[in-house]
């Protein structure tokens, strides 16, 4: 499709024209615009597409969600709170690995701590990352780069006995 841009100053356009002529001109412009590629915001259907809107995840509970590169919800942000020192295991399962999902673990100041590697196998594959955690907020940045996929994620907090 061709890309086009159309800017109209409706105030000056309609100053000297009668209403029926004005309506015909606007209608013609809309017909011309139909052939244009309309850009739509990739996050138009997402409530958690930015870190500032990250959805809180409870520890030790599975969360189900989805991302799509063409459906208006390309990116999800989740956060979890680690209350005490321990090991964190994050388990992911993407139903469609062909959506090329990417996942980054980010600390509370925005540094990338880790990322999930794409598995060699096809189909749903359980992926995980683990790290030694201190009490803090941590973020997950989840994105589909080529298609759509449902996914499940669980953050497991393992505390060493004293």
Is the same domain home to 25 and 94?
no
**β-strand partners of 127:** 92
- Residue 44 in domain: no
**Residue 49 and residue 24: Cα distance in Å, rounded?**
40
The confidence score (pLDDT) of residue 20 equals: 62
Query: In the predicted model, is pLDDT for residue 133 greater than 90?
Result: yes
Mean pLDDT (whole number) for 118-147: 84
- Residue 101 in domain: yes
Q: Is the pTM of this model over 0.85?
A: no
The confidence score (pLDDT) of residue 120 equals: 65
The confidence score (pLDDT) of residue 96 equals: 86
Return the half-sphere exposure (C-beta side, CA atoms, 13 A cut-off) of residue 92.
27
**Residue 87 and residue 7: Cα distance in Å, rounded?**
56
What is residue 19's three-state secondary structure?
helix
Is the same domain home to 133 and 82?
yes
Q: How confident is the model at residue 68 (pLDDT cuts 50, 70, 90)?
A: confident
Is the same domain home to 34 and 57?
no
Is the same domain home to 68 and 136?
yes
- Residue 46 in domain: no
Domain extent at residue 35: 1-39
Q: Distances from the Cα of 92 to the Cαs of 54, 64, 66, 115, in angstroms?
A: 17, 10, 12, 12
Q: What is the pairing mode between strands 62-68 and 148-158? A: antiparallel
Is the same domain home to 145 and 110?
yes
Query: In the predicted model, is pLDDT for residue 59 greater than 90?
Result: yes
Is the same domain home to 79 and 137?
yes
Query: In the predicted model, is pLDDT for residue 54 greater than 50?
Result: yes
Is the same domain home to 25 and 72?
no
Query: In the predicted model, is pLDDT for residue 7 greater than 50?
Result: no
Between 8 and 141, the higher pLDDT residue = 141
Query: In the predicted model, is pLDDT for residue 146 greater than 90?
Result: no
Between 53 and 11, the higher pLDDT residue = 53
Is the same domain home to 17 and 56?
no
The confidence score (pLDDT) of residue 47 equals: 62
Q: How confident is the model at residue 86 (pLDDT cuts 50, 70, 90)?
A: very high
CB atoms within 10 A of CB 118: 13
Number of domains in the chain: 2
Winning range, highest mean pLDDT, from 88-92, 116-120, 141-145:
88-92
- Residue 143 in domain: yes
């Amino acid at each position: 499709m061709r890309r086009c841009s159309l800017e109209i100053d409706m105030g000056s356009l309609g100053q000297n024209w009668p209403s029926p002529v004005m309506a015909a001109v606007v209608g013609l412009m809309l017909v011309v615009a139909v052939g244009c590629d309309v850009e739509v915001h990739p996050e138009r259907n997402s409530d958690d597409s930015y870190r500032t809107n990250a959805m809180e995840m409870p520890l030790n509970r599975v969360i189900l969600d989805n991302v799509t590169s063409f459906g208006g919800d390309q990116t999800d942000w989740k956060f979890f709170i680690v209350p005490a020192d321990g090991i964190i295991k994050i388990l992911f399962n993407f139903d469609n690995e062909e959506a090329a999902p990417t996942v980054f673990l980010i600390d509370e100041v925005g540094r990338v701590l880790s990322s999930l590697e794409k598995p060699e196998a096809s189909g749903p594959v359980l992926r995980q990352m683990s790290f030694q955690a201190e009490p803090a907020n941590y973020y997950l940045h989840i994105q589909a780069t080529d298609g759509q996929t449902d996914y499940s994620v669980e953050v497991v907090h393992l505390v060493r006995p004293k």
